[in-house]
Amino acid sequence: MRVIALAPIPAAGYGSSPAQGVTAIAASATIRRRALKRRLARVRQGRAGLGGLFIFSAAETTVLPVPVEIVLVPMMQLARRQVWRMAASVTMGAVAGAVAGYLFALFFMQAAGDPMVARLGWQAEKAQFAAMFERHGFLAIVLVGMLPPVPFQLAMLSAGATGYPFALFVLATVIGRGARYFAIAALIFLFGDAAAALWRRHRLLAVALGTLAAGLVMTVWAVGGSPH
What is the predicted pLDDT for the residue at 223?
A: 45
Residues of the chain falling short of pLDDT 70: 1-30, 32-48, 148-150, 195-228
Query: How many Å separate Cα 148 from the centre of its chain?
Result: 11
Give the Cα separation of 171 and 138 in Å (integer): 9
- 61-107 pLDDT tens trace: 888 878 888 888 888 888 888 899 999 999 999 999 999 999 998 88
pTM score over 0.75: no
pLDDT of residue 92: 96
The answer to whether the bond into 65 is cis (omega within 30° of 0) is no
Q: Which of 130, 141, 129 is nearest to 165 (CA)?
A: 141
* Percent of the chain predicted with pLDDT > 90: 20
Instruction: Measure the CA–CA gap between 138 and 136, rounded to whole angstroms.
Output: 6
* Helices vs strands, H then E, count in the chain: 11, 0
- What is the dihedral sign for C-alpha 195, 197, 200, 203? negative
